[in-house]
């Protein structure tokens, strides 16, 4: 049976680092798509500058409109990634994709995948404070990664967490990671039987308030238990 793995979490949560960890642990990734990787190769500003040079005219995109160029690149990358995911779904190829998961369309995509015979797995990573996400996006930009407006980071942080319980309920298994500190902490997971296992030592170390408020408090109490890794 093909599997679909969603690596989700707000901007700057550490999704790509988590992906690398899964690969190192020999998790079968299948086809893989990350819109950020695509966006790196879409440079609207450079394309317009080159066109202006050829035509010997003023480039229509000036520095004060550079944010639009970034937005355009990300939007095109998202469109390409969505198309690839759907193609892989149609061909019943196991796949893994990264997403902020701040839009309800991801719930529908997982529903469609299940209807097509896929087993969905969720890997969700987050931190306790949107300010941490802002700082990490700035670090990414300094390393020539793409930027995200701070208002969008905060907005998506809360929207993503609002969808967490609904997405978790749709998946065969779900794994939760806190990245508020220096290292990612795997502190809980949902089993195929629908039991939410809390790894007490790791949970206490992470103190994942985002998880407590958005999943632990709404999960059926009779299906929560303490466990150990």
Average pLDDT in the chain: 88
Alpha helices in 25-163 (DSSP H): 35-39, 44-55, 66-90, 105-115, 130-142, 150-162
Chain segment 2-48, per-residue pLDDT in tens: 999 999 999 999 999 999 999 999 999 999 988 777 666 666 556 55
Structural domain count, the chain = 1
What residues are paired with 96 via a beta bridge? 5, 32
Q: Let me know: does 120 contact 171? Beta carbons within 8 Å.
A: yes
* pLDDT value at 66 more than 60: no
Q: Give the residue-averaged pLDDT of 162-169.
A: 98
> Global pTM?
0.86
Q: What are phi and psi of 194, to 5 degrees?
A: 85, 10
Domain carrying residue 167: 3-227
CATH number of the domain encompassing residue 182:
3.40.50.300
Q: Which residue has the tokens 């000036």?
A: 62
Q: Give the residue-averaged pLDDT of 58-85.
A: 66
């Amino acid at each position: 049976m093909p599997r679909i793995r969603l690596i989700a979490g707000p901007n700057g949560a550490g999704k790509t680092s988590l992906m690398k960890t899964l690969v190192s642990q020999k998790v079968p990734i299948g086809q893989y798509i990350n819109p950020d990787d695509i966006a790196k190769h879409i440079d609207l500003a450079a394309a317009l500058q080159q066109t202006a040079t050829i035509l010997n005219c003023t480039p229509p995109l000036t520095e004060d409109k550079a944010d639009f160029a970034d937005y355009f690149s990300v939007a095109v990358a998202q469109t390409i990634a969505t198309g690839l995911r759907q193609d892989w779904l149609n061909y019943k190829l196991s796949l893994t994709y990264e997403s902020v998961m701040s839009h309800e369309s991801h719930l529908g995509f997982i529903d469609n995948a299940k209807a097509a015979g896929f087993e969905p797995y969720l890997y969700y990573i987050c931190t306790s404070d949107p300010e941490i996400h802002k700082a990490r996006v700035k670090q990414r930009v300094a390393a020539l990664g793409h930027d995200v407006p701070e208002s969008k980071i905060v907005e998506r942080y809360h929207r993503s967490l609002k969808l967490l319980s609904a997405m978790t309920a749709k998946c065969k298994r779900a794994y939760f990671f806190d990245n508020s500190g220096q290292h990612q902490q795997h502190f809980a997971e949902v089993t195929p039987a629908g039991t939410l296992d809390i790894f007490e030592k790791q949970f206490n170390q992470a103190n994942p308030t985002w998880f407590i408020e958005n999943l632990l408090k709404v999960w059926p109490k009779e299906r929560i238990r303490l466990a150990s890794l």
